[in-house]
Structure 1
């Protein structure tokens, strides 16, 4: 029976995925690797995992040894940690020749930002990335936001017997399903930016396009990929045909900023519920300003043919519900 190693179980996506594995794949033995030592009872009794191993992503030898002894590794723990991906690949490579082994890696659509324009405006000629276009997927490189680990994974599939899948979710919002509080990355970066500046910014006129989705849209697709991994022989598809973009709501960055300004004001994080237009150089540090200044456009025909659907609430509606819950 194929065994699964899951990294990132205490994070946002992992907290939902581990419960989905319990409910939909009860016969598959699951090992989880995490730093938190306070979740063992929950993981064994509620999530029904078979084994808990404690450690950090810096402990390469542990990760290599675990990957070496599992048929399928699912990494939703980090989309930017190159040494982590290298350790996973090294462990999978150490398995016997001819043995089927698979890596399902979660990246992000931060790779697919058109930085030719950084004025915060919509541009009709912005590149629209498609997971059905292998030439688009061949453009993935280490200079992209999440491109370092992605390149490691792509090379592993080309150069070895490892079957790989990469899923690129757009900006994630939502809450964790388990006992450890966690919020979507887009919520975290907006909160950090509001705390840094004292208001929520957008760049220029804010008409540049952003794409985002609720965390609950991701888990069903990860299960589809797992099903594919259990059925398919690696030779049936090229590495680039195993890349899937899963997007959600497309909206102007100004609309996203306005929604977060209202939400963060309601929480008392910032004094005003109004978002503010700024120049790129006035938007502070981190990745968010450059993302806001550019367009992120994408399409998902390959993922949709596999069965991907986004039926979750919009960002604005989610933030309203979240504010009501807090109050």
Structure 2
């Protein structure tokens, strides 16, 4: 039994940065789809309905029984809530497994992971000898260490797909930037981190010499990849494919981190948070003493995002993030000021 345009879908994290944008574009592309939004609060109900949600369910993602029950009644799940939430992902998979058994066709999971599982052990320096993994090479994905960030959760999706319990796609975005098109204005994680680092460092800091490579992608292109994979899932093109052939890196531009950090530094210097815009080099150990998440800006991401382009992904934003940094930082800075 194949899918029709009136399939049912659940967006977990529909009030978020990526999930909200997926909701908007999903409704545009599939006007007959029955879409449910899973969120914790009723505060944004009107906005979610306006964006295309037929039904809004309020539940804590820690209520795994409720999540499983909800998921078991839909054909498609977009899980954008938390790339590291093992129990949530297990509940989603259990629910979709029941859906597959009930309908006789494989339910579809499109899981938002992250390219952090492809990081090297960089400490602020380029690593020209690092193994470069391509998502078009199955062994490159299969051999990612079990200890890598997000990997234990991704393995759940791989195993469920291999067993035929669902058709599981994984999207691993690099650093995401840009103004999301979701119904509730959100800023990307990296902007909030830059503000938090600025508050902790209190001066212009680069880890190492900043030559490590930061891979980036625009949020609109992340969303378009999710929708492309939904199209593949609905058409059942990949039922015989290896689970590792359904792992997609979303990345469009590689940038030396120092280029980004200098613009970030100029922004905070202009705001009066830094006494100077002259970068001071710290070791990774020194930086993480000031902020435990400082390691994020010290890594390289040695990877090639090839599979998506091979199946028709056409990202529109393939430029450097550098000219756009200030516009993204401003709302995160304003929000942080409100919380002081």
Q: What's the counterpart of residue 58 of structure 2?
A: 54
1:101 is aligned, of 95, 107, 132, to 107
Does the aligned pair in 2 maintain the 1:111–1:146 contact within 8 Å?
yes
Are 1:161 and 2:184 counterparts? no
Aligned pairs for 1:230-249 (under 5 A) are: 230-232=234-236, 234-249=238-253
Paired residues for 1:1-327 under 5 Å:
1-44=6-49, 46-95=50-99, 97=101, 98-115=104-121, 118-232=122-236, 234-284=238-288, 288-312=293-317, 313-322=319-328
Output the aligned Cα RMSD.
Answer: 2.2
Q: C-alpha separation between the residues in 2 aligned to 1:295 and 1:96?
A: 39
The structural deviation recorded for 1:96 is 5.0
Closer, same or farther in 2 for the Cα pair 1:141/1:61, shift >3 Å? farther
Cα distance, 1:321 vs. partner?
4.0
Instruction: Output the CA distance in 1 between the equivalents of 2:311 and 2:230.
Output: 12
| Contact residue 125 and residue 208 of structure 2 kept, 8 A | yes
TM-score, structure 2 as length reference: 0.88
Q: Deviations over 1:103-131 (max 9, x none)?
A: 1001110000122xx44221221121100
Contact 1:113 1:291 (8 Å CA) reproduced: no
Summarize the Cα distance change of 1:148–1:266 in structure 2 as closer, same or farther, 3 Å threshold: farther
The 3 A distance-change label for structure 1 pair 132 and 96 is closer
Deviation per CA, 1:171-230, whole angstroms, max 9, x where unpaired? 112233345332112212222111111134322111111111221211111110111111
Q: How many residues align?
A: 324
Distance 1:13 1:271, change over 3 A: farther
- Residue-by-residue CA offset, 1:59-102 (whole Å, 9 max, x unaligned): 11111011100011111111111111011011111225333211
Cα deviation code 1:286-320 (max 9, x no counterpart): 66433433321211221111222333253111124
